[in-house]
Amino acid sequence: MQLSDYQTGYEGIRFDRSPDGVLEMTLHTRGGPAKWGASLDCLHAELPRAFLDIGRDPENRVVLLTGTGDSFIDSFDPGFTHHEDSLAAMWPRIYDEGVGLLNNLLAIPVPMIAAVNGPALIHAELAVLCDIVLASETAEFADLAHIAGTGSIPGDGVHVVWPMLLGPNRGRYFLLTGERIAAQEARRIGVVAEVHAPDKLLPRARDLATWLARKPLPALRHTRMLLIRELRRRMFDELHSGLAHEALATMVPQG
């Protein structure tokens, strides 16, 4: 796999790689801030394949993940609707995408840096699962993709990630209430490593990525594997059943 094989293959992801092997991965929707959805051309469908492509490209030494404009992912796009004629018909695809989304991210064999350029309210776990998380002063973190925002079940990995990061009690509170955690508070509690002014965020992330990329590639790869070992184990144990619960609850009549 080479960069040319996937660089232009995604509607909502821009790729640019520096000569030292830093792959910059920018999420967007039609060139603007990234939005979420359930269609075949939205990030939910594209990211599992993109993470797989990135992991199979031996020229990538560090991956830098960021968003576009003033938000990371802060809302849904009504244009990204599922093509299937029912939720029951949609869920097998969504299930497979949900499994690939986080497992393929965690299978990337080199360090990942997130530059959270603004509110991360929908699937913020994509950012906080990276090895180094930097945030803009304007960033905030929440889970509005599930019970607090849409009424759906937080079973697609967020039920694993947030209680690990926040602790069991605050993690459950966060998922149930839609609590928003501002950038400085996220840094204070250890979710974020550094907070920067918006115009300083990406330069700092690039500097860190460049510094890491100079390390021997075997050291980068083996360190990454050690650092995410527990996350991968937990996701293997719990992601499939979490998505199954989410599907079941979605297809039960509300009342």
Domains within the chain, CATH numbers bracketed: 3-251 (3.90.226.10)
The reported pLDDT for the residue numbered 253 is 57
CA–CA distance, 164 with 203 (Å, rounded to integer): 29
> What type of residue is 192?
V
Residue 254 has pLDDT above 80, yes or no: no
8 Å CB contact between 179 and 173: yes
Residue 50 has pLDDT above 70, yes or no: yes
The reported pLDDT for the residue numbered 85 is 85
CA–CA distance, 18 with 24 (Å, rounded to integer): 8
List pLDDT tens digits, range 175-200: 999 999 999 999 999 999 999 999 99
Buried-exposed string 35-57: b where 16+ CB fall within 10 A, e elsewhere:
bbbbeeebbbbbbbbbbbbbbeb
Q: Containing H/E element for 221? A: helix 217-227
8 Å CB contact between 63 and 224: no
Is 24 catalytic? The answer is no
Range 105-124 average pLDDT? 97
pTM for the whole structure: 0.94
> What type of residue is 251?
M
8 Å CB contact between 149 and 178: yes
The reported pLDDT for the residue numbered 250 is 75
| Rounded percentage of the chain residues whose pLDDT exceeds 90 | 79
* Catalytic position from the list 24, 46, 97, 125: 125
Residue 252 has pLDDT above 80, yes or no: no
The reported pLDDT for the residue numbered 214 is 97
